[in-house]
Amino acid sequence: MNTNTNRVLACIDGSILSEAVCDYAAWIAQRVDAPLKLLHMIDHHHETAAISDLSGNIGLGSQEHLLEELTAVEQQRSKLRLQQGKLLLQAAKERVIQAGIADPDSNQRHGSLVESLIELEDSIRVLVIGIRGKVHENQPDKIGAKLESIIRSLHKPILVVNDAFKAPQRIMIAYDGSKAADKAIDIVATSPLYKGLTCHLVYVSKDATATEQWLQPVADKLTSAGGIEVISKILLGKPDQLLCEYQDKHAIDMVVMGAFSHTRIHDLLLGSFTAKMLLNNKKPLLLLR
């Protein structure tokens, strides 16, 4: 595969997390030696009306007139947003250049983020995105409105950033023994991103019979193929709670896990593990799909 086409894509929207997104994207791009692309979307929110005239009548050429009026209003708005976006991208670009990226790409597009990302999917190596955008910036108990649909519709690794940048030293892999988790292990073992990091391989079990021995083959794989120092650990109890506690205790910098392996209906009824982790976890979450 041509590495040139596969970029680290960072989604910038001017919220407080955008800077951290840039930093993490730069960190990944440098470690995996991939080009970095900064993306800013201008979402027009066509579902809301720009003007509202309740006089309720239509007269000579009112259709043409209405079109002109709407066009003029939207043109003005779009120009402003275009300008704002350009400034954001410029600032982001400077930031990643300072972090050591030689030639970052920047891109500004109109429309919804989810649709654009689906279009760009083939050229994405890792997507870096803030946990919540500008709209929910000050609501720490919420995850971004589009985040779940982005994670569900993309089949690429996604790093969800929720805090200021700190170069990861210790990562935690949440392993559940499923096929998806094994695939995630394969990705981790073969990617240059994790070389030289300490990795806590954590399995949360429902019964006490499982032992660390059982994780040994997985740990060996990570060590031999990926050159990663592995600490295996089996916990007993509720996964999301335990994983967050573990992460606090061992000063983990980044969590790696599979995401949304169930259907929407399953998650709607039982609650999604991924969603809980996104909400409760204080460190960036790398989701492997």
CB of 68 to other proteins, least distance (A): 10
Strand order in the sheet with 229-236: 105-110, 36-42, 7-11, 124-130, 158-161, 285-288, 254-258, 170-175, 198-205, 229-236
DSSP 59-104: -TTHHHHHHHHHHHHHHHHHHHHHHHHHHHHHHHHHHHHHTT-SS-
Among 6, 30, 42, 44, binds other proteins (CB under 8 A): 44
Q: Which is nearer to other proteins, 46 or 195 (CB)?
A: 46
Nearer to other proteins, 74 or 229 (CB): 74
Nearer to other proteins, 47 or 122 (CB): 47
Count of other CB atoms within 10 angstroms of residue 241: 13
CB closer to other proteins, 64 vs 141: 64
Beta pairing partners, 40: 108
Residue 204 to residues 95, 112, 161, 221, Cα–Cα distance (Å): 39, 37, 24, 20
And the tokens for 113? 């983020």
Residues 46-75 that bind other proteins (CB under 8 A): 46-49, 51-64, 66-67, 70, 74
Shortest Cβ distance from residue 151 to other proteins (Å)?
18
CB of 108 to other proteins, least distance (A): 18
> Which residue, 94 or 115, has its beta carbon nearer to other proteins?
115
φ/ψ of 229, rounded to 5, equals: -80, 120
Least Å from the CB of residue 162 to other proteins: 24
Smallest distance, Å, CB 41 to other proteins?
A: 15
Q: Binding residues for other proteins, how many (CB under 8 A)?
A: 24
Tell me if 33 contacts other proteins by CB under 8 A: no
Q: How far is the CB of 71 from other proteins (least distance, A)?
A: 8
The one-letter amino acid at 161: V
- Stretch 67-126 residues interacting with other proteins (CB under 8 A): 67, 70, 74
Decide: 161 and 17 in contact? Cβ < 8 Å: yes
CB-based burial label for 278 (10 Å; 0-12, 13-18, 19+): buried
What residue ranges bind other proteins (CB under 8 A)?
44-49, 51-64, 66-67, 70, 74
